[in-house]
Chains A and B, each alone.
Chain A
Amino acid sequence: MSIDQSTAAKVAKLARIKVEDDALPALASEFNTILGFIEQLNEVDVEGVEPMVSVEPMRLKRRQDEVTDGNQQDKVLANAPDAREGFFAVPKVVE
């Protein structure tokens, strides 16, 4: 499988990373190098093999569904680039 410039642009869009049009050919070429390397996996017979979900076969722990934390709005907002009136502020999302 080979990645062309329009696929590279689509991937950048999905990843929400701005890539200028003139950078797309180089990016597509890097993708193809890496994917070419990954293609080796097609040599492996994986028939009947389960995809690994967790490296150690252990069941995730359960706990009571109860509040264990909270009441620290100032701490939650302390590192926000733009926090106003107790909220995270972002550019307008709805007209």
Chain B
Amino acid sequence: MSDLNKLGLAEARDALRAGDVTSVELTESCLKAIDDASALNAFVHKTPEIALERAKAADERIKGGDAPSMCGLPIGIKDLFCTKGVPSQAASKILDGFKPEYESTVSQQLADAGAVMLGKLNMDEFAMGSSNETSVYGNAVSPWRRGNDDAQLTPGGSSGGSASAVAADLCLAATGTDTGGSIRQPAAFVGITGIKPTYGRCSRWGIVAFASSLDQAGPMTKNVRDAAIMLETMCGHDSKDSTSAELAVPNFEAMLTGDIKGKKIGIPKEYRMDGMPAEIEKLWSDGADMLKDAGAEIVDISLPHTKYALPAYYVIAPAEASSNLARYDGVRYGRRAQLAQGDGITEMYEKTRAQGFGHEVQRRVMIGTYVLSAGFYDAYYNRARRVRTLIKKDFEDVFAAGIDAILTPATPSASFGLGEMTEADPVQMYLNDVFTVTVNLAGLPGISVPAGLDAQGLPLGLQLIGRPWDEGELLNTAYALESAAGFVAKPNKWW
């Protein structure tokens, strides 16, 4: 078999089980693809020795005949996940040189299932960004281009390296994390599938914290079936994360029947934004037609507080970040600033954090500090948490009225050029997450499915939002949408 790196998880699993291919062959194919793709800057720490060692072990296990689905499948891990003995620095200078003595629960579960880690993937610093331009490693680059224009495009963010690597077939799939859209937006930008599960499905233990009430891990894959397979391995209760849910994890793949007859799909009118490109409007209505043709009932719904989700998010997320990132003080791990004669501990903190945090991270930590400070806590932070209650109630009301899933665009635009937003004010960049951030605030599962190309030949995605803990049904609806949309486009290799 040639081009083994181009396989998806399910295809590769079936080929491994049939004895048509070995994990070592799959892994070597990916490692070569990674070495050839330095122009994408997706993999920032390569771990070929670990990969080949795990691949050999996986091949032995597969021979034994009782290997789990992920066994032997080469994947990339976002740099936000702590991986034992391997640099894990959340794309930040402040964690330069940090090699954890422990493994995150999610990456451990993947390893226990036999998955092969190829290396660590680029991202926005501390997952704060929507274009992978805040990384200490430099920009991750999308494998996609606008026709023959050789301008470099963003793979989205914060899981930009994961998106670029999966779309360019450097790995079979990758882990991502999603605090305001960081799995779904990059997945949409590069034409792959990404799911953020219900808050509490995946353990957050060992994942560098950004905003703890919003962060969730999830898979970024080449199709919906692969997302079902990988998500199942990533989920599950963990006593080391007190917010992880003690719920059984279903066999998500077995729920992919494609039968969505009688399902009620809500179309929220508030997601029809002023200035939304006509192409995205059309993609959305085409998506609704596809689900209708598959037997679903399309229902117009209202989520009245949608408009306030982004401003609420930009209070709550920075507030939690300012608290979480207080731990980076130059004492226990990472990089300490060079101190001048006579500098005391306060100078050590201030210089370490000024030199170690990038501009966007500093900005968010300070905004968070401000909204939590005495005199402003009620006006900003408590008000935002009240609005969050209302946003969640919007969803509860439509689900109580019988809606099974909600269809929206994944992003307000296709991918844009790296550097194109540099001059814009920060709020313009934040608008990338306008359709995804509501889902994090309400703790719901959301999936981005590639559904078409724009006039410049760039991928566009649709988002489906499900009921809490209903990832199985959500994946099945996404599967029906994927089958109907028939998205097969791949970027032309230029790297």
Give the number of residues in A that approach B within 8 Å (Cβ atoms): 51
Known: A79-B99, A90-B345. A60 touches B242 (CB 8 A): yes
- Closest B-chain residue to A82, C-beta based? B336
In the bound complex, what is the Cα–Cα distance between A2 and B198 (angstroms)? 37
- The stretch among B8-16, B116-124, B129-137, B385-393 that forms the contact with chain A is B385-393
Residues of B within 8 A of A52 (CB): 385-386, 388-389, 392
Report whether A49 and B311 are in contact in the complex, using a CB–CB cutoff of 8 Å.
no
| Chain A positions near chain B (C-beta within 8 angstroms) | 1, 3, 8, 11-12, 14-19, 27, 30-31, 33-35, 37-44, 46, 49-56, 58, 60-61, 63, 72, 75-76, 78-82, 88, 90-93
Q: Does B398 contact A (CB under 8 A)?
A: no
Report whether B392 and A17 are in contact in the complex, using a CB–CB cutoff of 8 Å.
no
Other-chain contact of A41, B339, B348, B353, B387 (Cβ < 8 Å)? B387
Known: A18-B351, A19-B354, A31-B366. A46 touches B383 (CB 8 A): yes
Residues of A within 8 A of B248 (CB): none
Other-chain contact of B311, A12, A40, A90 (Cβ < 8 Å)? A40
Report whether A41 and B308 are in contact in the complex, using a CB–CB cutoff of 8 Å.
yes
Report whether A16 and B367 are in contact in the complex, using a CB–CB cutoff of 8 Å.
no
Report whether B245 and A58 are in contact in the complex, using a CB–CB cutoff of 8 Å.
yes
In the bound complex, what is the Cα–Cα distance between A82 and B332 (angstroms)? 8
CB-based closest 3 A-B pairs: A55-B443, A51-B385, A79-B333
Query: B85 to nearest A CB, angstroms?
Result: 10
Interface string of B359-392 (1 = CB under 8 A from A): 0001101110111010010011011111111101
In the bound complex, what is the Cα–Cα distance between A50 and B198 (angstroms)? 22
Query: A16 to nearest B CB, angstroms?
Result: 4
Q: Does B350 contact A (CB under 8 A)?
A: yes
In the bound complex, what is the Cα–Cα distance between A33 and B366 (angstroms)? 14
Report whether B243 and A54 are in contact in the complex, using a CB–CB cutoff of 8 Å.
yes
Report whether A91 and B344 are in contact in the complex, using a CB–CB cutoff of 8 Å.
yes
List 14 other contacts, CB 8 Å, given A76-B332, A79-B99.
Answer: A11-B369, A14-B373, A15-B322, A30-B426, A33-B427, A44-B386, A46-B383, A46-B386, A50-B386, A52-B386, A56-B243, A58-B243, A78-B101, A79-B333
Report whether B350 and A18 are in contact in the complex, using a CB–CB cutoff of 8 Å.
yes
Other-chain contact of B370, A17, A31, A63, A80 (Cβ < 8 Å)? A31
Interface string of B145-164 (1 = CB under 8 A from A): 00000000000000000000
In the bound complex, what is the Cα–Cα distance between A3 and B441 (angstroms)? 27
Report whether A17 and B426 are in contact in the complex, using a CB–CB cutoff of 8 Å.
no
Report whether B353 and A17 are in contact in the complex, using a CB–CB cutoff of 8 Å.
yes
Other-chain contact of A79, B98, B344, B384 (Cβ < 8 Å)? B98
Q: Does B487 contact A (CB under 8 A)?
A: no
Report whether B345 and A17 are in contact in the complex, using a CB–CB cutoff of 8 Å.
no
In the bound complex, what is the Cα–Cα distance between A51 and B426 (angstroms)? 27
Q: Does B191 contact A (CB under 8 A)?
A: no
Query: A43 to nearest B CB, angstroms?
Result: 8
- Closest B-chain residue to A68, C-beta based? B239
Report whether A56 and B200 are in contact in the complex, using a CB–CB cutoff of 8 Å.
yes
Residues of B within 8 A of A16 (CB): 326, 329, 346, 349-350, 353
Q: Does B442 contact A (CB under 8 A)?
A: yes
- Closest A-chain residue to B468, C-beta based? A56
Report whether A50 and B389 are in contact in the complex, using a CB–CB cutoff of 8 Å.
yes
For chain B, residues 319 to 365, give those with C-beta under 8 angstroms from any C-beta of chain A.
322, 326, 329-336, 339, 343-351, 353-354, 357, 362-363, 365
In the bound complex, what is the Cα–Cα distance between A51 and B213 (angstroms)? 13
In the bound complex, what is the Cα–Cα distance between A34 and B170 (angstroms)? 38
Report whether B344 and A92 are in contact in the complex, using a CB–CB cutoff of 8 Å.
yes
In the bound complex, what is the Cα–Cα distance between A52 and B388 (angstroms)? 6
Report whether B367 and A41 are in contact in the complex, using a CB–CB cutoff of 8 Å.
no
- Closest B-chain residue to A92, C-beta based? B344
- Closest A-chain residue to B370, C-beta based? A11
Report whether A55 and B213 are in contact in the complex, using a CB–CB cutoff of 8 Å.
yes
- Closest A-chain residue to B325, C-beta based? A15
Known: A14-B369, A18-B351. A61 touches B242 (CB 8 A): yes
Q: Does B128 contact A (CB under 8 A)?
A: no
Query: B446 to nearest A CB, angstroms?
Result: 13
In the bound complex, what is the Cα–Cα distance between A41 and B379 (angstroms)? 9
Other-chain contact of B392, A55, A76, A79 (Cβ < 8 Å)? A55
- Closest A-chain residue to B198, C-beta based? A56
Interchain residue pairs with CB less than 8 A apart (20): A11-B369, A14-B373, A15-B365, A31-B370, A34-B314, A37-B430, A41-B387, A44-B305, A44-B387, A44-B390, A46-B390, A52-B386, A52-B392, A56-B245, A76-B101, A79-B97, A80-B333, A90-B345, A91-B339, A91-B348
